A and B are shown apart, each in its own frame.
Chain A
Amino acid sequence: MSSDGAPPHRLPERDRPWMMRTYAGHSTAKASNELYRRNLAKGQTGLSVAFDLPTQTGYDSDHELSRGEVGKVGVPVAHRGHMATLMDGIPMDQMNTSMTINATAAWLLALYIVVAEEQGVAPEQLQGTTQNDIIKEFLARGTYAFPPAPSMRLIADMIAYTVEHVPKWNPINVCSYHLQEAGATPVQEIAYAMSTAIAVLDAVRERVPQETMGAVFGRISFFVNAGVRFVQEHAKLRAMSILWDELGRDRYDVEDERQRRFRFGVQVNSLGLTESQPENNVQRIVLEALAVTLGRNARARAIQLPAWNEALGLPRPWDQQWSLRIQQVLAYETDLLEYPDLFEGSKVMDGLVDELLDGARAEMAVVAEQGGAVEAVPYMKAALVDSHRERIRRIEAGEQIVVGQNRFTETEASPLTADAEGGILVVDPNVEREEIEALERWRAERDEGAVRSALQELELLARAEGNLMEPTLAAARAGATTGEWAATLREVFGSYRAPTGVGEAAGAGSDEDLEELREEVERLTAQLGRRPKMLVGKPGLDGHSNGAEQIAVRARDVGMDVVYEGIRLTPDQIAASALQEGVHLIGLSILSGSHRELIPAVMQALHERGVETPVVVGGIIPDQDVAPLLQAGVARVYTPKDFELNRIMHDLVELVAHPAGGNGHAVAPTPALPSA
């Protein structure tokens, strides 16, 4: 440290800042490319591509399930033409691109490689990351496409391929981020992420020679979260780096210390961001950024920060610029990067790290006992739903203080949300139609025979054995689309629905708060002649099911029968279920911004079947969208500021007892956000 004569409390030279990114992309490849270029001009040093939900789940813009989702939470990329537009004017040999892509990661990486070739850039030069962690998709984020076993095969194939051909690429970002968003405690976050990494590495070990395992291990990176309890969050990162080093040494015989280094990128917490007094989120984001930068021994390699208004809707470029500036102030104005690790020898930090290590090791043993992360998905999912339920209970009970939400709620009117659109980005509703038309033109102009035969090759190999990257690259070159690639594999692998965790979730911890509601439900049961029955589900492709799960669990805990339908439902499916199940109430959750299209479509489908059941909607619903939803026949709209689940339950009971009564924007849930 002090070889240059610097004193032990100073670095000989200031550290280089971490890579700064903004999770961005919306509407079209062209619009997103313009946004990227502007962001890079503002001093952003890497790209973080947000894909729209159809692209993430393997559907083209014209698929039934894509309705309302095209270009919403990210950019649609269906073929190499889109990828070329997205990267237009951005030198791919110099750029470091992170792609939040999982089920279709192999496909999007193939498009990226093919477009780089078109730019004259060789695969060996490419730098970046594909998220590619399917287990957390089953657990928390919901954009899976194939069953667990073939999903793991795709991941292992990609890792084996990139280690050889795209050596600077991080083929997988093991994600603890989404686990925290789904309610994980720090111990669960560490244990489940490490267990996921073990499952991946074990699968790769079967495909590569042992001498390559060091290189493989060295290419595995992590995508971590940080909440506002920033001291403990920093300890968490230190604990993870210790575990990772041990794992490399003991389980995979990795001898080179550098290959065992814990490398991670960060997006800080969205779960704790509030809709009420949203300006307070800026402070939260700053503190969370400190959690991942403060100690040099566990500092993030890349950071992207959420925007202050994520709980309100989709952030605008200006909102994202604010978050980039937070990073730049931290890196360039403060003295943070001038010192060695601040916590070395700290009793507090070491003690916290030890606590977390003990807890994480014990929980990892439980997962291992179940046969590893893939087999333990139902266990982990139920554990997360439980933790999240406990978190919500604490906030409801005031045991966990959230400033501006359950304490210090008096506020002046905010000038930040005073504009006509409420301070958020609204995607042009014509985008979907234009994308579909463009897609039809693409299909008409390409060499159809070449596409068919490339997809056939893919199918043949999928049915047999062998690395799927080569035929995937061939299909990308031929001009196949995201939906075609995924449909080919769905045909072979079958489709899959992940466990919901709600059935296994334990009953309410404390019954006291629920007694009154249970009595209300019993009275309603007597009035109806059967127990009130509620349908809960998520229309569209948004997989952030935490809010819907918590509503389902609480409704069960107050005594209702709850048909939990899970994610990815079409309006027709919801209407058919409501009719067949004979429910008294329908609760729908949408966080992707597609409520404007999907909710009226659900109302229409119900109407066509003669179902008059009241419908309530929860999610990230901007203020100006509430009135149109109520006009479409929705009985109640709940947004993140309605955090008291018991008040919602009371409301729902009333609604079933007096279906015609009251109409309005009420109080209540969905504390999860459609981010990274």
Chain B
Amino acid sequence: MTTTAVSSAALGARLRERDLTAAPAALNLLESTTPDAREQTAQLLAELSPAALGGEAPGHVVGVTGPPGVGKSTLLSALLAAWRGAERTVAMLAVDPSSRRSGGALLGDRARVEFDPSDAGTFIRSTAAGSRLGGLAPATRSAADALAVAFDVVVIETVGVGQGETDVADAADTVAVVVQPGSGDTLQFLKSGIMEIPDVVVVTKADLGTLAQRTLRDVRASLRSLGSTSTRALAVSAAPPPRGIDELVRALDEHREAIDVGERRRRARRRAALADFTLEFGERGVRALGGRPQLERWVADQDPALDIATLAMRLGERALLELGEGGRPQ
């Protein structure tokens, strides 16, 4: 372990100065759940909140998700190379599922994604999703927020298709769903509405030719039938010689330019704060504060620049006022 007790204020300052070497220590802190670390985490996130920054963090948070075996790692290897080639710094948060029986996890992305280990502008952190549903590790969202202060691009990679990417959608500015040629499952999920409509759909293995093109047409048809006009769908071949990667990079950038990043992140922060509060206090806490619609209105009235932890903390304080000390979660 490399924690040489760093103060959260100093870490926050280093990230604000875009000192990429602060990333490992910041993540060690954000992932830790000791009472002391949680207090420091709250401080660090406050240091990096839009309120402290005077605006949203500049980094582009990109979610990349898709079922196992569709070629996410190969795609990410090609994307990393393209971003680094354009001198954009990249942080990647790779989330793998945890074993339900042991709680442990095998984190294999570091071995799967190709990158230059000597490059100071690439940071990769593997995390386990833990027992949490929704595909993200407990600290992934705050980690993405913190890293977006210092890095140009922050990628969140998760496995799964279906309900897994709701969390990613809340943590990322742009969500790309990866499918491989001939994958009917994903299209079914998309059509039936189990899956939220992604911002970008990437069909991999375009070197397979007609099969990839047919899948791309099917994806586009499904998107049209759902009435989505903004989602871009494109086919790439990440294996050498790479094809379509530059177009994908452009599509991701164009999506971010087209949206109101501040508004998307504000809404996401509010949803996340509510979710965190609910996780901690349960439905009892929600009822104590007047029910969900009431809570949503209250959160929407708060300072839009507040970070998730502060919002959730304020909700908790209010709940304790209503419930008394007996309402404090275990």
19 A-B residue pairings within 8 Å (CB atoms):
A525-B103, A528-B34, A555-B104, A556-B99, A561-B105, A562-B106, A562-B107, A563-B126, A564-B108, A565-B111, A566-B111, A576-B118, A579-B24, A580-B123, A581-B24, A582-B1, A582-B27, A610-B2, A613-B2
Contact, CB under 8 Å: A582 / B28 = yes
Contact, CB under 8 Å: A529 / B239 = no
Assess whether A98 is interfacial by the CB under 8 Å rule.
Answer: no
Assess whether A570 is interfacial by the CB under 8 Å rule.
Answer: yes
Given contacts A558-B104, A580-B24, contact A494 B111 (CB under 8 A): no
Range of interface residues on chain A? 35 or more
Distance of B260 from chain A, by nearest CB (Å): 33
Kindly list chain A residues whose C-beta atoms are within 8 Å of the C-beta of B126: 561, 563, 581
Kindly list chain B residues whose C-beta atoms are within 8 Å of the C-beta of A612: 1-2
Distance of A482 from chain B, by nearest CB (Å): 22
**Residues 512-535 of A contacting B (Cβ, < 8 Å):** 514, 518, 521-522, 525, 528-531
Kindly list chain A residues whose C-beta atoms are within 8 Å of the C-beta of B99: 507, 556-557
Assess whether B32 is interfacial by the CB under 8 Å rule.
Answer: yes
Assess whether B23 is interfacial by the CB under 8 Å rule.
Answer: yes
Kindly list chain A residues whose C-beta atoms are within 8 Å of the C-beta of B288: none
- Bound Cα distance A500, B33 (Å): 31
Contact, CB under 8 Å: B2 / A529 = no
Distance of B131 from chain A, by nearest CB (Å): 11
Distance of A494 from chain B, by nearest CB (Å): 4
Closest chain B residue, CB of each to CB of A492: B240
Kindly list chain A residues whose C-beta atoms are within 8 Å of the C-beta of B96: 503
Contact, CB under 8 Å: A529 / B106 = no
Contact, CB under 8 Å: B28 / A577 = no
Contact of A529 among B32, B111, B114, B127 (CB under 8 A): B32
Assess whether A402 is interfacial by the CB under 8 Å rule.
Answer: no
Given contacts A493-B240, A494-B239, contact A559 B104 (CB under 8 A): yes
Q: Mark B276-304, 1 if CB is under 8 A from A, else 0.
A: 00000000000000000000000000000
Contact, CB under 8 Å: B104 / A503 = no
Assess whether A237 is interfacial by the CB under 8 Å rule.
Answer: no
Kindly list chain A residues whose C-beta atoms are within 8 Å of the C-beta of B105: 556, 561-562
Assess whether A502 is interfacial by the CB under 8 Å rule.
Answer: yes
Distance of A672 from chain B, by nearest CB (Å): 18
Kindly list chain B residues whose C-beta atoms are within 8 Å of the C-beta of A584: 1
Contact, CB under 8 Å: B125 / A580 = yes
Kindly list chain B residues whose C-beta atoms are within 8 Å of the C-beta of A553: 106
Q: A531-B103, A562-B107 are in contact. List 7 more A-B contacts (CB 8 A).
A: A147-B239, A557-B99, A561-B128, A566-B111, A582-B24, A610-B2, A612-B1
Contact, CB under 8 Å: A556 / B1 = no
Contact of A552 among B4, B106, B130, B240 (CB under 8 A): B106
Given contacts A508-B102, A529-B34, A582-B31, contact A613 B23 (CB under 8 A): no
Contact, CB under 8 Å: B125 / A581 = yes
Kindly list chain A residues whose C-beta atoms are within 8 Å of the C-beta of B124: 580-581
**Residues 79-113 of B contacting A (Cβ, < 8 Å):** 96, 98-99, 101-108, 110-112
Closest chain A residue, CB of each to CB of B99: A507
Kindly list chain A residues whose C-beta atoms are within 8 Å of the C-beta of B112: 497
- Bound Cα distance A610, B125 (Å): 18
**Residues 205-239 of B contacting A (Cβ, < 8 Å):** 239
Contact, CB under 8 Å: A564 / B37 = no
Kindly list chain A residues whose C-beta atoms are within 8 Å of the C-beta of B117: 570, 572-573, 576-577
Q: Mark B28-41, 1 if CB is under 8 A from A, else 0.
A: 10011110010000
- Bound Cα distance A579, B110 (Å): 13
Distance of A524 from chain B, by nearest CB (Å): 12
Distance of A532 from chain B, by nearest CB (Å): 9
Interface residues, chain B, CB within 8 Å of chain A?
1-2, 4, 23-24, 27-28, 31-34, 37, 69, 96, 98-99, 101-108, 110-112, 114, 117-118, 123-128, 130, 239-240
Contact, CB under 8 Å: B104 / A530 = no
Closest chain B residue, CB of each to CB of A490: B240
Contact, CB under 8 Å: B108 / A556 = no
- Bound Cα distance A564, B107 (Å): 6
Assess whether A378 is interfacial by the CB under 8 Å rule.
Answer: yes
Kindly list chain B residues whose C-beta atoms are within 8 Å of the C-beta of A563: 107, 110, 126
- Bound Cα distance A511, B111 (Å): 28
Closest chain A residue, CB of each to CB of B124: A580
Distance of A86 from chain B, by nearest CB (Å): 34
Kindly list chain B residues whose C-beta atoms are within 8 Å of the C-beta of A514: 102
Kindly list chain A residues whose C-beta atoms are within 8 Å of the C-beta of B69: 378
Kindly list chain B residues whose C-beta atoms are within 8 Å of the C-beta of A576: 117-118
Can you list the 7 inter-chain pairs with the closest CB atoms, starting with the nearest? Answer: A529-B34, A529-B32, A566-B111, A494-B240, A573-B117, A556-B104, A559-B104
Distance of B309 from chain A, by nearest CB (Å): 16
Contact, CB under 8 Å: B32 / A528 = yes
Most A-side CB within 10 Å, residue of B96, B104, B114, B117? B104
Contact, CB under 8 Å: B28 / A562 = no
- Bound Cα distance A582, B103 (Å): 18
Assess whether A631 is interfacial by the CB under 8 Å rule.
Answer: no
Assess whether A283 is interfacial by the CB under 8 Å rule.
Answer: no
Contact, CB under 8 Å: B114 / A497 = yes
- Bound Cα distance A578, B2 (Å): 9
**Residues 388-441 of A contacting B (Cβ, < 8 Å):** none
Assess whether A611 is interfacial by the CB under 8 Å rule.
Answer: yes
Contact, CB under 8 Å: A500 / B102 = no
Kindly list chain A residues whose C-beta atoms are within 8 Å of the C-beta of B33: 529-530
Q: Mark A612-639, 1 if CB is under 8 A from B, else 0.
A: 1100000000000000000000000000
Contact, CB under 8 Å: B2 / A582 = yes
Contact, CB under 8 Å: B104 / A521 = yes
Contact of A559 among B34, B102, B110, B125 (CB under 8 A): B102
Distance of A535 from chain B, by nearest CB (Å): 9
Closest chain B residue, CB of each to CB of A525: B103
- Bound Cα distance A125, B45 (Å): 74
- Bound Cα distance A613, B3 (Å): 10
Kindly list chain A residues whose C-beta atoms are within 8 Å of the C-beta of B101: 507-508, 511, 557
Closest chain B residue, CB of each to CB of A527: B34
Assess whether A663 is interfacial by the CB under 8 Å rule.
Answer: no
Distance of B312 from chain A, by nearest CB (Å): 19
Contact, CB under 8 Å: B240 / A502 = no
